[in-house]
Amino acid sequence: MRKLLFAMVAMSCVITLSQAKDKPAGCKEASARAAQFLRNAHTGKAMTAKDWLTDEARQAPMFAGFGGIESLVRQSTSRSGKFGGLKAVHILEARPLRQGCEVRAEVKFAKDHKDPANPAIAASEEMIWTFQMMELNGTWRIAG
């Protein structure tokens, strides 16, 4: 019985270590997906919420009350236009979580959004987004 228990614990450790090794690569994929979401949102590309968000994220009162993904794209594209368009999306950090990854990304515009000479100044706004990403059926989605 002890040998069986030891074998099960050893197997569990191997599986856990194997999954931990896989997470950095997964976070790289999650980061690429988050960056694509932000590029789409800031350039006006239409997205379907079910393709980009988990069920829980789509049904969250805050997201639904905001107007959903269409409203997010409309507002993000408008903000991007005020600052000369999207310049780049930079991934600041991607770290594994118990389930999925947390990705922090910064949106950069052609014109500095903190420049006081710009009439559309948004100096108090940080253009940093934090996503909780989960992989569902082989596709990374925003969970929160």
Block mean pLDDT (10 aa), the chain, length 144: 32 32 70 97 95 92 85 92 93 95 95 66 72 94 93
The answer to whether the beta carbons of residues 108 and 73 sit under 8 Å apart is: no
- pLDDT on residue 10: 33
Q: Is 32 exposed, middle or buried (0-12, 13-18, 19+ CB in 10 A)?
A: middle
C-alpha 4/C-alpha 78 separation (Å) is 62
Global confidence as pTM: 0.76
> In 44-67, which ranges are continuous DSSP H helix?
49-52, 55-59, 61-66
pLDDT of residue 83: 87
Q: Which domains, from first to last, does the chain contain? A: 23-142 (3.10.450.50)
